[in-house]
């Protein structure tokens, strides 16, 4: 039996999306910027897809920019908005983010530091939730941008983005959220959230890889960071990925329509998994117990090497990920920056796996995972103790 | 040669050999990876300068488990001189890993260190 429980890394395309993708790939060969009949057909589908994405997240058509994925969306949001701010407010050189962001944001902020920006990292508590008071204390008239993810990719916690966005708005600070892990798992409505910029990626919600979107609030000053044919309102040049955009819209539509029922199902399965963890003992569920994306669990087992557990489960046909790659490698990646920021403790960080459920999982698969998890943790503890 | 996992390495990882403790062993060897708290302890019976028996307990990544299994098989029945003459490079090549993971060299290095100390009477 193969059980895929790594839906935060990527999700398999839904059958309906594969079918639709194939149809569009075959039947819409035109360049959406061409003015002949093939181009106009492709343009029409592209615009319909954009309209669909916009309506699914409470945005307007003109507020959506299609990109190649989450990383590009984050980069355009961060560098593009700061580029525009530099022109009108060159003194605004302070930016904020959290230490638990995805590398797409963290590495962008490291680059900002090199470019002379003052970067502050908003602390998170042991549950992975950002400190709102800290933001209030550190925001100033020099602050240009704040970026806080909506749902964390490692531990699944959902951040109080609505509150942070409100606070930023009232202090003249542009607010960006990386919503890549939240899309399709929880309701995402840009009006309710009150964000200026929001990034999404299709392959995290059962769409194809290589396509994503960026929401840019109407009227927000933002400059392109890549130049070319002036596509996407001049913000993201490059021939339109009609097939990808259409499949992404289809996937999001399908996924959003089942959020509630999936969420209830995942809660039941989460309980099963946590019950078996109680039986296994000496474990920790990382991240806030309630404020989390349904179906996402980060589990740490004391006295166990997470990579060994992941590899053993893989031999059983179960795909989960580990938060801690081996540190003895010359090109070591090191332990999870997210768990370190949450003060998880070395003994636990080292024994962490991430389990993220998805649409195709079944009760039988979860039961199989639970039995193998116990068997493998017991084995790894046994070989440590002899 | 593989970056992190090879077929040969995974064969050892899937069913590691010589796991356990020898209660009245004559020599113990320990290796640690302080950065992540992993480690291995070998228990050996050394008689007439020959490693007659070897077992180990371990907390480590797949490479550390596989390398400990492989190393335990390789050193069993060998003389102290033969073991001290072994090169960790051979372990990397036999396990099909082309990079310098400390967790792969650690088992042999810790056994060699313990044998050297044993020879000196430390």
Residue A238 near residue A69 (C-beta atoms within 8 A): no
Tell me whether residues B13 and A335 touch, CB distance under 8 A: no
Over residues B82-100, the pLDDT tens digits come to 999 999 888 888 888 876 7
| Residues of A assigned a catalytic role | 326
Residue B45 confidence class, pLDDT cut points 50, 70, 90: very high
Tally: H helices and E strands in chain A: 14, 13
- The torsion angles phi and psi of A200, rounded to 5 degrees, stand at -140, 155
Q: Which of B4, B57, B103 sits opposite A383 (nearest CB)?
A: B57
Q: What pLDDT shows up at residue A258? A: 96
Q: What pLDDT shows up at residue A345? A: 85
**B36 to chain A: which residues are within 8 Å by CB?**
305, 324, 326-328, 335, 346, 350
Please provide the size of chain B in residues: 122
Can you spell out the DSSP letters for A312-327?
HHHHTTEE-EESB--T
- Please tell me which residue of chain B has the smallest CA distance to A385: B57
**B33 to chain A: which residues are within 8 Å by CB?**
327-328
Q: Does A309 touch chain B (CB under 8 A)?
A: no
Judging by beta carbons within 10 Å of its beta carbon (0-12, 13-18, 19+), is residue A346 exposed, middle or buried?
Answer: middle
Residue A202 DSSP symbol: G
Judging by beta carbons within 10 Å of its beta carbon (0-12, 13-18, 19+), is residue A87 exposed, middle or buried?
Answer: exposed
**B10 to chain A: which residues are within 8 Å by CB?**
311, 315
Give chain B's largest Cα–Cα span: 40
- The torsion angles phi and psi of A107, rounded to 5 degrees, stand at -70, -35
Residue with tokens 């938060």: A323
Can you spell out the DSSP letters for chain B?
-BSS--HHHHHHHHS-SSBS--TT-SEEEEEEETTTTEEEEEEEEEETTEEEEEEEEEE--HHHHHHHHHHHHHHTT-BHHHHHT--HHHHHHHTTB-S--HHHHHHHHHHHHHHHHHHHT-
Q: Does B115 touch chain A (CB under 8 A)?
A: no
Q: What pLDDT shows up at residue A42? A: 98
HEC string of A366-381 equals HHHHHHHHHHHHHHHH
Tell me whether residues B100 and A386 touch, CB distance under 8 A: no
Q: Is the ipTM of this complex over 0.85?
A: yes
Residue with tokens 């310098």: B100
User: A129: helix, coil or strand?
Assistant: coil
Q: Kindly give the residue spans of alpha helices, DSSP state H, lying in A221-298.
A: 242-256, 259-280
Give chain A's largest Cα–Cα span: 74
Tell me whether residues B37 and A315 touch, CB distance under 8 A: no
- The torsion angles phi and psi of A271, rounded to 5 degrees, stand at -60, -40
Interface test with B, best of A309, A314, A326 (most B CBs within 10 A): A326
Q: Does B96 touch chain A (CB under 8 A)?
A: no
Q: What pLDDT shows up at residue A73? A: 98
User: A55: helix, coil or strand?
Assistant: helix
Tell me whether residues B65 and A383 touch, CB distance under 8 A: yes
Residue A111 near residue A105 (C-beta atoms within 8 A): no
Can you tell me the distance from the alpha carbon of A180 to that of A294, in angstroms, rounded to the nearest whole number?
Answer: 15
Structure tokens that stand for A281 in this block: 């003992």
A1-24 as b/e, with b when 16 or more CB fall inside 10 Å?
eebbbbbbeebebbeebeebbeeb
Q: What's the number of CA atoms in the CB half-sphere (13 Å) around residue A329?
A: 18
Can you tell me the distance from the alpha carbon of A307 to that of A325, in angstroms, rounded to the nearest whole number?
Answer: 6
Give the mean pLDDT of B64-90: 95
Q: What pLDDT shows up at residue B97? A: 86
Residues above pLDDT 70, as percent of chain B: 95
Can you tell me the distance from the alpha carbon of A231 to that of B85, in angstroms, rounded to the nearest whole number?
Answer: 66
Tell me whether residues B35 and A328 touch, CB distance under 8 A: yes
Structure tokens that stand for A225 in this block: 């960071």
Can you tell me the distance from the alpha carbon of A226 to that of A78, in angstroms, rounded to the nearest whole number?
Answer: 13
Residue with tokens 């930016």: A95
Residue A234 DSSP symbol: G
Enumerate residue ranges in chain A where pLDDT < 70. Answer: 324-333
Q: Residue A338: enclosing H or E segment and its boundaries?
A: helix A337-341
Q: What pLDDT shows up at residue A332? A: 54
Q: What pLDDT shows up at residue A4? A: 98
């Amino acid at each position: 039996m193969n059980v895929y429980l790594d839906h935060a890394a990527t999700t398999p395309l839904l059958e309906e999306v594969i079918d639709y993708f194939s149809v569009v790939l075959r039947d819409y060969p035109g360049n959406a910027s061409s003015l002949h009949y093939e181009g106009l057909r492709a343009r029409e589908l592209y615009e319909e897809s954009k309209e669909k994405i916009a309506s699914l997240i409470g945005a307007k058509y003109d507020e959506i920019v299609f990109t190649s994925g989450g990383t590009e969306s984050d980069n355009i949001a961060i560098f593009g908005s700061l580029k525009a701010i530099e022109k009108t407010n060159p003194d605004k050189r302070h930016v904020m983010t959290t230490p638990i962001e995805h590398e797409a944001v963290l590495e962008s902020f490291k680059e900002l530091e090199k470019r002379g920006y003052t970067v502050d990292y908003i602390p998170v508590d042991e549950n992975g939730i950002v400190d709102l008071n800290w933001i209030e204390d550190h925001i100033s008239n020099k602050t240009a941008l704040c970026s806080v993810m909506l749902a964390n990719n490692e531990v699944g916690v959902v951040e109080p983005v609505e509150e942070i966005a409100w606070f930023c708005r009232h202090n003249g600070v542009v607010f960006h959220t990386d919503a890549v892990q939240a899309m399709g798992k929880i309701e995402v409505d840009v009006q309710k959230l009150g964000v200026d910029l929001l990034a999404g990626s299709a392959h995290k919600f059962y769409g194809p890889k290589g396509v994503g979107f960026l929401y840019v609030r109407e009227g927000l000053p933002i400059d392109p960071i890549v130049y070319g044919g002036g596509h996407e309102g001049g913000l993201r040049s490059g021939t339109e990925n009609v097939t990808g955009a259409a499949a992404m819209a289809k996937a999001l539509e399908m996924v959003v329509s089942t959020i509630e029922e999936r969420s209830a199902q995942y809660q039941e399965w989460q309980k099963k998994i946590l019950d078996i963890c109680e039986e296994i003992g000496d474990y920790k569920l990382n991240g806030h117990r309630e404020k989390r994306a349904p179906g996402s669990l980060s589990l740490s087992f004391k006295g166990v090497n997470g990579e060994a557990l992941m590899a053993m489960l893989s031999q059983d046909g179960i795909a989960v990920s580990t938060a801690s790659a081996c540190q003895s490698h010359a090109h070591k990646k090191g332990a999870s920056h997210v768990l370190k920021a949450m003060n998880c403790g070395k003994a636990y960080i080292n024994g962490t796996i991430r389990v993220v459920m998805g649409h195709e999982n079944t009760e039988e698969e979860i039961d199989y995972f639970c039995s193998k998890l116990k068997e493998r943790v017991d084995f790894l503890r046994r070989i440590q103790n002899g | 040669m593989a970056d992190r996992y090879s077929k040969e390495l995974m064969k050892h990882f899937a069913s590691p050999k010589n796991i356990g403790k020898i209660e009245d062993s004559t020599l113990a060897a320990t290796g640690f990876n302080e950065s992540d708290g992993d480690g291995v302890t070998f228990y050996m019976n050394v008689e007439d300068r020959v490693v007659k028996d070897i077992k180990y307990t371990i907390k480590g990544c797949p490479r550390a488990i596989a390398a400990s299994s492989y190393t335990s098989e390789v050193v069993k029945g060998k003389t102290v001189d033969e073991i001290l003459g072994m090169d960790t490079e051979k372990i990397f090549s036999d396990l099909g890993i082309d990079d310098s993971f400390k967790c792969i060299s650690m088992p042999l290095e810790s056994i060699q260190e313990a044998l050297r100390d044993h020879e000196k009477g430390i």
